Amino acid sequence: MKRLQFSLFSTLFILSVLIVSPLQAAQESIRALWVECEGTNNTLSSKEKILECIDIAAKNNFNTLFVQVFRGHRAWYKSSFIPNEPYKRFLAKEKVDLLQFFIDEAHKQGIEVHAWANQMRVVRNSKKSYPVLERLGKDVVTRNGTGVSLWDFPHEKLPDGGMWLDAGDRKVQRFLADVAEEIVVNYPDLDGYHLDFIRIPFDVPYAGSRWDGRKGFGYGKESVRRFKLKTGWDPMTMEKTRKNTQVWDDWRRDQITEVVRTVSKRVKLTSRKMQVTAAGLCWIDRAYLSSYQDWGQWLDEGIVDALITMNYSIDSRFVNRLSRQALSLRQDSRVYIGLGSYLLEEELDAFEKQIQETLALNPDGVVYFSYDSMLKKPEMFKIVNRQPRNLVSKKKKKSTSQSKRSIKVWRSAKPKVVRSEVQ
Residue 144 and residue 252: Cα distance in Å, rounded? Answer: 12
pTM for the whole structure: 0.88
Q: Calculate the CA 141 to chain-centre distance.
A: 21
Q: Enumerate the domain spans of the chain.
A: 28-389+399-418
Other Cβ atoms closer than 10 A to 266: 21
27 burial level (CB within 10 Å; 0-12, 13-18, 19+): middle
227 in helix, strand or coil? Answer: helix
Domain 28-389+399-418: give its CATH code: 3.20.20.80
Residue 22 and residue 398: Cα distance in Å, rounded? Answer: 22
Strand partners, 335: 307
Provide the residue-wise pLDDT of the chain in tens; the chain has 423 residues: 444 444 444 444 444 433 433 333 467 899 999 999 999 999 999 999 999 999 999 999 999 999 999 999 999 999 999 999 999 999 999 999 999 999 999 999 999 999 999 999 988 776 677 888 989 999 999 999 999 999 999 888 888 878 999 999 999 999 999 999 999 999 999 999 999 999 999 877 778 888 888 889 999 999 999 999 999 999 999 999 999 999 999 999 999 999 999 999 999 999 999 999 999 999 999 999 999 999 999 999 999 999 999 999 999 999 999 999 999 998 788 999 999 999 999 999 999 999 999 999 999 999 999 999 999 999 999 999 999 977 766 665 554 444 343 333 233 333 333 333 332
Dihedral, CA of residue 133, residue 418, residue 250 and residue 240, to nearest 10: 100
Other Cβ atoms closer than 10 A to 205: 14
Residues 6+ apart with CB under 8 A from 281: 199, 287, 291, 293, 295, 309, 310
Phi and psi torsions of 330, nearest 5°: -75, -35
Whether 193 and 115 have beta carbons less than 8 Å apart is answered as yes
Dihedral, CA of residue 208, residue 209, residue 213 and residue 214, to nearest 10: 130
Q: Tell me the pairing of strands 64-71 and 30-35.
A: parallel
Cis peptide bond prior to 412, omega within 30° of 0:
no
Residue 247 and residue 376: Cα distance in Å, rounded? Answer: 47
Residue 310 and residue 319: Cα distance in Å, rounded? Answer: 10
